[in-house]
Structure 1
Amino acid sequence: MNNEKDMTGDIIMGFLLIISGIAIVVVALGMKVFRNFLDAPGFFPLMLGCVFVLLGAALSFPALKKVGLSTLKDTFSKSNLSKFFKDDKTLRVTILLALMFVYVYFLIGWLNFTVATFLYLFFTMLYIKSTKWWMVIIISIVASVTISVVFKYGFRIPLPS
C-alpha cells in the first residue's frame, strides 16, 4: 500500500489540517452574530474548520498508528530538517510564499488593487521564469485589469483601493 515516507507525509499534512481547522474555528467564533448564528458570517467558516479538523484526524491518526512515533522522530531529525531547508524546492516555495505575503499584507490596501495585482503577477511570473520578460508584462497587465473589471463591474464587488 503506502510506504513509510507517504505515511509520514499523511501525518504531517493531517496535523497541518487540524491546526488550520482549529484556527479557522477560532476566527469564525470571533465573528459578529447579528440575529442568530445560523445566518452569521462565521457559520460557514466554522463548519469548514470542523471538517478540516475531522479530515486531518482521519488522515494523520491511522498513519501515525501504522508507522509509529519513531519514524516521525526520524523525519524531524536535525539532518533531515537541515537537508529540507537547504533544498532548492524549499527555497523556491518560500520565495513564492513571501511574494504572496507581501501582496496580501502590504501591497493591497497601500496601492490600487489593479497596480498591486500587476506587481504581484509580474514578480511571481518573472521569478518562476514563465516566459519572456515582455510577455510577463503583457500578461500581468491584461490579467490584473481583467480581474479588476470583472469583479468591480461584472460581480459589483468593491475592491480595496
Structure 2
Amino acid sequence: MRIGHTADLVIGLAFAGLGSAIFMVASGFRTFPGMAVSSGLFPKITGTGMIVFGIVMALAAARAARRQTLAPHSGQDAGEQALPTRYAMTVVVALLVLIFAMPIIGFLASGFVFSAFLVRLGGGRWPGALAFALLATIAVYIVFTYGLRVPLPRGPF
C-alpha cells in the first residue's frame, strides 16, 4: 500500500470519527425559543457530511490500494497531482481572508468578492463570475437570514 493510500485511509476514517463526535455532541444541544431550527441542526448536518465523505474517502483509498496490489505499476496514478497544488493553496488563503474579512466588511461584500474570485480562479470569465457571485451570495443570504433565521455578519457594505 502506498503512503498516499494509507494517508487517505487514515484521514478518511479520522474524518468520519470526528463527524460522529460532532453529531453526538450536537444531539445534546437545546433549542432556543424563537428559533426556526434547533441550534444543533448545522453541526448535525456538518457531522453527517463528515461521516459520509470520510467513509467515501476511506473506501476509495482502500479500493485504490487493492487495485495497486493486484496490478502494481511504477509512477503516479493517472491524474494524480503532488499536493499541495497552487490552486488548493490559493483557495485555502482565500478562505482565510474570507474568515477574517467577513466580520469587518460583512457577509454580502465578502461573500460576493470570494465567490467571484473562486470562479475567476477556476477559469471563469468576468461576466459569469460576477453573475454567479451575485446570485450565490443573495441565495445564501436569503436561505440563512429568512429561511433559517440565522444572522450573518453585517458590515458597512
TM-score exceeds 0.5: yes
Cα deviation for residue 115 of structure 1 reads 1.4
| Bigger shift: residues 138-147 or 108-117 | 138-147
Structure 1 unaligned residues grouped into runs of 5+: 76-82
Q: Which amino acid aligns with 1:149?
A: I
- State which of 89, 95, 102 in structure 1 corresponds to 2:97: 102
1:152 aligns with 2:145: yes
Work out whether residues 15 and 51 of structure 2, in 8 Å CA contact, stay in contact via their aligned partners in 1: no
State the alpha-carbon separation in 2 of the partners of residues 45 and 143 from structure 1. Answer: 20
Report % sequence identity: 12
State the alpha-carbon separation in 2 of the partners of residues 128 and 59 from structure 1. Answer: 25
The structure showing larger relative contact order (alpha-carbon pairs under 8 Å, at least 6 residues apart) is 2
Instruction: Output the TM-score relative to the length of structure 2.
Output: 0.56
Higher helix share: 1
State the aligned residue count: 138
Work out whether residues 25 and 45 of structure 1, in 8 Å CA contact, stay in contact via their aligned partners in 2: no
Q: 1:23 to 1:160 in 2, by over 3 A?
A: same
State the alpha-carbon separation in 1 of the partners of residues 29 and 17 from structure 2. Answer: 23
Cα deviation for residue 120 of structure 1 reads 0.6
Q: Could you tell me which residue of structure 1 aligns to residue 86 of structure 2?
A: 91
Q: Could you tell me which residue of structure 2 aligns to residue 78 of structure 1?
A: none
Q: Secondary structure at the match of 2:137?
A: helix
Q: 1:117 to 1:53 in 2, by over 3 A?
A: closer
Larger radius of gyration: 1
Deviation string, structure 1 residues 85-117 (Cα, Å, up to 9, x no partner): 58xxx11122123213332x2233333221121
State the alpha-carbon separation in 1 of the partners of residues 140 and 152 from structure 2. Answer: 13
Q: Which amino acid aligns with 1:84?
A: A
Structure 2 unaligned residues grouped into runs of 5+: 31-37
